[in-house]
Amino acid sequence: MYVMDNTTLEVVDSIKDLGVYYDSLLLFDKHISEKVNKAYMMLAIIKRNFDYISKNCFVILYKSLVRCHLEYADSVWYPKRLTDVDKLERVEKRATKLIPELSNKPYKID
């Protein structure tokens, strides 16, 4: 328990500052989950609004609507754990399935 100016400060598990969720262990699980969910929502918007989409058009939409969420403040929370990297890679794997030319090709992680 911490007290400042005769006011007891509450203990929290995580806090959001400038759009980045910090937890007590600095694992950024909540932040990555929030950003991955937002990226999936943006992919769903693209899929819902375009019956057919060319590769070039999709790249522009992906870079402007999806990737910006995955990369926001990545210098702070850069994923070090394989589970976090896998969550981010699944978004990109799903994105490749929306492009007709790439939908039947395997997605390889190097």
Per-residue pLDDT of the chain (110 residues; tens, 9 = 90+): 788 899 998 888 889 999 899 988 888 889 999 999 999 999 999 999 988 888 889 999 999 999 999 988 887 878 888 888 899 889 988 988 888 777 777 766 65
Residue 101 lies in a domain: no
The first and second tokens of residue 59, run together, are: 């790249």
Long-range CB pairs of 79-85, under 8 A, 24+ apart, other chains included: 79/28, 79/32, 81/27, 84/28, 84/29, 84/32
User: Could you list the residue range(s) of the whole structural domain that residue 7 is in?
Assistant: 2-96
The domain tally of the chain equals 1
Backbone angles phi, psi at 29, to 5 degrees: -60, -45
Strand partners, 20: 17
Residue 109 lies in a domain: no
